[in-house]
Amino acid sequence: MKQVLLLLLFLGYGSFYAHGQKSLLKQKGLFIEARYSYGDVIAHKPALQAITSEPYHFLDIRLGKQGLGSHAFEVLLNHPLYGLGYFRGDVGSSQIFGNPNALYGFIAFPVFRHKNYYLALEPSIGLAFNLNPFHETKNPRNVAIGSGENAFLRLRIANTFTISPQLDLDISMDYTHFSNGMTRAPNLGLNNRGLSIGLKYFFHRDYSLTNNIEKAATIRRLWGDFQDKQSIFLRYGYGVRSSDLTFKYYQVHDFSLGYRKQISYIFAFSLAHDLFYNEIAKVRNKQLQSPLERYQLLSLGLYGENELILNRLRFILGLGAYYYHGDNANEELLYWRLGARYAVLEKLWFQVALKAHASVADFVEWSVAYEIPIKKKR
């Protein structure tokens, strides 16, 4: 699992540099950044109150690039900054939770610019490792995390000030989440909130972004030139999850048939029908002594999804509603997905996403999908 996530990060970041510059350090907009984070570990469940009293500390090193307009999404999203980061730190008690490290991808979306300041919203996703997981005898107090490797998610509200031609000062509010997607119990997760401060050094800053008149004309042209694209897609997803009751692994299969419409260079939406075959229903069923019929392991749902398109890399967020549960003990009505996909070919893409009910992870879903374009009538 760790190797696959690292490959996805590499492919996603590498796709932004597909046009081949002569020298890495001569690229306009390239920067390196160091930052320090400090804050609280949130006791979001009563069982965590006794083990989350200590603060967290993170030190990040990041390499990134500011989008200068070589792709349509860079102009339409106000020239975002994106790249790879690595952090090391502690999440409260290192004896209980360990000293996590993480490799992650990030993208910062500027939402407001004024002279030497901009405000940005920055999500990050990656893989954290070196946590100290729950163990019945060696580490029984860690009821939050059941595995040493976990997904790493961060949302940052960043205030950035240009203090010299090559140097930016960044002061941010951070929210961080660690979870294994219920691949190994327990999985209450670790949530952190705090502040961070960082310095960003540009090897070759580009000041052409200040030409707002030319930028506005380019944006109007990009929105106007795009022709809607419609398709039907077939998707198969697979995942495993563990049970808090048995600590065994159970398979989940997902089959989807859907309609997708891309309405601009950066946005698309989908409507789909999901069919889940979930073996965890065997555990949730009250009559454990009598095996369930296969149809009782099925769940059916209707699902809608929004998609942010960054060249071949796309980010998805969707909400679905079940209308059938073969397992009557499963009373959830709504589910959601958050993830990323990579378009290997024009009609073929791979996806990894977290499927969850409210704040409780269901499983990590690995998917492959094939699109069938709908041709417009002339």
Residue 143: CATH number of its domain: 2.40.160.20
Indicate whether 322 and 188 sit together in one domain. Answer: no
For residue 292, the model assigns a pLDDT of 60
At residue 215, the 3 state secondary structure works out as: helix
Q: Decide if 222 is inside a domain.
A: no
Is the same domain home to 167 and 207? yes
Which pLDDT value is given to residue 67?
86
Give yes or no: residues 30 and 157 share one domain. Answer: yes
**Which of 157, 189, 214 delimits the end of a domain?**
214
Give yes or no: residues 21 and 69 share one domain: yes
According to the model, what pLDDT value does residue 269 have?
96
CA 301 to chain centre: 23
Are residue 276 and residue 177 in the same domain, yes or no? no
The pLDDT value given to residue 72: 79
190, 214, 238 - which closes a domain:
214
pLDDT value, residue 1: 46
Could you please report the per-residue DSSP string of 156-209?
Answer: EEEEEEE-SSSEEEEEEEEEEEEE-TTSSS----EEEEEEEEEEEEESS---GG
Q: Is residue 333 part of a domain?
A: yes
Is 221 among the domain residues? no
22 and 158 inside one domain: yes
- Tens digits of pLDDT across the chain (378 residues): 444 444 444 444 444 444 444 455 567 789 999 999 999 998 888 888 888 889 999 999 999 999 887 777 888 888 899 999 999 998 888 888 989 999 999 999 999 988 889 999 999 999 999 999 888 888 888 888 888 889 899 999 999 999 998 999 999 999 999 988 877 878 888 899 999 999 999 998 866 654 554 565 666 666 666 778 999 999 999 998 877 666 677 889 999 999 999 998 899 999 999 999 988 776 665 544 555 667 778 899 999 999 999 989 999 999 999 999 876 555 678 999 999 999 999 899 999 999 988 877 888 899 999 999 998 766
pLDDT of residue 220: 61
243 and 193 in a common domain: no
| Chosen domain end from 184, 214, 244 | 214
Q: How far apart are CA 128 and CA 149, in angstroms?
A: 6
136: Cβ–Cβ under 8 A, 6 or more apart, which residues? none
pLDDT at 218: 65
Asked whether residue 14 is domain-assigned, the answer is: yes
Residues 245 and 267 in one domain: yes
Range of the domain at 194: 2-214
82 and 23 within one domain = yes
pLDDT at 320: 96
How long is the chain? 378
In this structure, the answer to whether residues 174 and 63 fall within a common structural domain is yes
Residue 34: its pLDDT value, please?
96
CB count in 10 Å sphere of residue 45 = 14
Residue 353 lies in a domain: yes
122 in the same domain as 15: yes
366 is a domain residue: yes
Specify the pLDDT at position 210. Answer: 47
Does 145 lie in the same domain as 16? yes
User: Is residue 219 situated within a structural domain?
Assistant: no
Count the domains in the chain. Answer: 2
Q: How far apart are the first and last CA of the chain?
A: 46
Contacts of 234 (CB under 8 A, 6+ apart): 256, 257, 369, 370, 372
Identify the pLDDT of residue 15: 45
